[in-house]
Amino acid sequence: MTEGVEGAGLGLRRAFLQDLLAGPESPPDFLEVVPENWIGVGGRMGRDFRRVIEPYPLAAHGLSLNIGGPRPLDRDHLADLRVFLDTLDIAVYSDHLSYTADEGQLYDLLPIPFTAEAAAYVAGRVGVVQEALGRRVVLENASYYAAPGAALDEAEFINRVLTEGDCLLLLDVNNVYVNSVNHGYDPHAFLDALPPERVAYFHIAGHRREEPDLIIDTHGAPVIDPVWELLDHAYRRFGSLPTVLERDTEIPPLPEVLAEVAAIRRHQAAVEERPMEGA
């Protein structure tokens, strides 16, 4: 499902370019790149980008597919995206199960109503995107702070989209933890409600706790122990699938980030020594 991508990966950010070019002692196993950050980028930045990615297997993680938005899909963006993915030979493409635009880009990941009608709408758009890109789409469960109009629970909604759209899931374990605190559900039961055959790979990240019952998904802190534990549960249920560390704010020196990538490897290895749940 992830074609050439395996192990512990890092979400590539521009702040990492020069240190990655210098050759870190413990490099990631693969990189996840954001197409919107690199499509059309030339000059020195574009050259550095291509030098950095050359040794690594790649996955792509988009920001502006707007799969759940009310406006028609952006065909020009899909065409540019197809060229980007084909040129760099990237088979794995993901974006967020959310909406990000209406009359213009909203610069946020807004929740789709958890309804059967919304799931069918998203699934139909997934089919259009998969045909345009010539690839299976992988959708990420998003963090959200309100669930307007919900008639289904989050797991039921996700499962409907995956089945009706015949697409895959990028399981963001930190988002599961964040949502479980903010909306008061059991994160382990949530993972157990997802179909193993649809899970392609994982994300993990840090967050900021504002109140005992309110967490903000910032990607701006180290991963905390309860999220590592939840990742272990995900590995036991779904297998030690490829896992990407994301860091977007309060970015420390690259060796500190890569220490967390190395921790992913340790968690993968520990779970691989034990049988999967249900095996």
How high is the mean pLDDT of the chain? 92
In contact, 4 and 57? CB cutoff 8 Å: yes
pLDDT score recorded for residue 45 = 94
Summarised one tens digit per residue, pLDDT across range 6-42 is 999 999 999 999 999 999 989 999 999 999 999 999 9
Summarised one tens digit per residue, pLDDT across range 196-245 is 999 999 999 988 887 887 788 878 889 999 999 999 999 999 999 999 99
Distances (CA, A) of 245 to 41, 53, 165: 24, 16, 27
pLDDT score recorded for residue 279 = 43
pLDDT score recorded for residue 276 = 55
Pair type for strands 99-101 and 105-110: antiparallel
pLDDT score recorded for residue 34 = 97
Radius of gyration of the chain (CA): 18
| Domains identified in the chain and CATH numbers | 8-272 (3.20.20.150)
**pTM, rounded to two decimals:** 0.93
